[in-house]
Amino acid sequence: MTTNHDDPLRRRAAALGLHGVLTHWHTHAREPWLQRLIEIEEVERKRRNYERRLRDAQLSAIKPLAEFDWKHPKKIDQGHIQELFQLHFLRDATNVVFIGPNGVGKTMLAQNLALHALGLGHTARFVSASAMLTDLASQDGALALKRRLHRFAKPELLVVDEVGYLSYSDRSADLLFEVLNQRYGRVSTVVTTNRPFSEWSAIFPNATCVGTLVDRLCHHAEIVEIAGDSYRLKEAKDRRSRRSQRANAVAAE
């Protein structure tokens, strides 16, 4: 016979922290409403947990992965990227670096990785490199900086977007290294950049730690290179072409 403590339903109630129900378990254990009550609470807790993690992730409007045009880039390893969505790299605390020119979908892919991780119960945060480094540099004092660093060191998946679009001081290089160092070997970081690593010294022109920073990022990393023209420019050209066609059609009437 199953004892109270071996009862799967009781264990679920305990996991939810339903202390009142547990205290009077012997009274309510056979009530038909009890299992439904626990199911409702589990669903609601799961929903609220997801909404909290989604809010904390600070993802902007995301274009669904199903709309990604795999044929547009001149170079892209679709199989490699689809494998990343199995999230084995999270289990192994491996980093992911998307390298390619502007407009080839690096941010879209990184955002969708984060969203997929959230859907499977992980924590994530999305932030541009400039926003993160400005935020960290603005902290007043060592204790405030330590607390702020924790915000970026804690999530199971951190996406740092657009490294290379601006140049930064040596202080910023030190801060980025500190974020990567605190996450190193423990949790995964995804970085998008428009510059090969050989050009990162131009991103942090006065920093002495660039080589160490790149080494720390890439020591355990999946490198995804994408080549091609900007998809945003292609969409803009398509819109102009459609407007021109409509204008010509109206003029011909």
Q: What's the pLDDT tens digit per position in 131-177? A: 999 999 999 999 999 999 999 999 999 999 999 999 999 999 999 99
**In the chain, what percentage of residues exceed pLDDT 70?**
89
Q: Which candidate, 166, 161, 164, 93, places its Cα nearest to that of 127?
A: 161
Strand 221-225: give its sheet, edge to edge: 124-128, 157-163, 188-193, 95-99, 221-225
- Interatomic CA distance for residues 121 and 123, integer angstroms: 7
**What digits encode the pLDDT tens for the residues 176-203?**
999 999 999 999 999 999 999 999 999 9
Q: Which residue has the tokens 């609470």?
A: 41
- Interatomic CA distance for residues 234 and 232, integer angstroms: 5
| pLDDT band with cut points at 50, 70 and 90 for residue 242 | low
**Considering the entire predicted model, what is its pTM?**
0.82
Would you state the pLDDT for residue 223?
Answer: 98
Q: Is 90 exceeded by the pLDDT of residue 95?
A: yes
**Dihedral angle computed from the Cα positions of residues 209, 212, 216 and 217, in that order, rounded to the nearest 10 degrees:** 60
| pLDDT band with cut points at 50, 70 and 90 for residue 5 | low
The predicted model gives 213-224 an average pLDDT of 95
Write down all domains in the chain, each with its CATH number in brackets. 4-57 (no CATH), 65-233 (3.40.50.300)
Would you state the pLDDT for residue 1?
Answer: 40
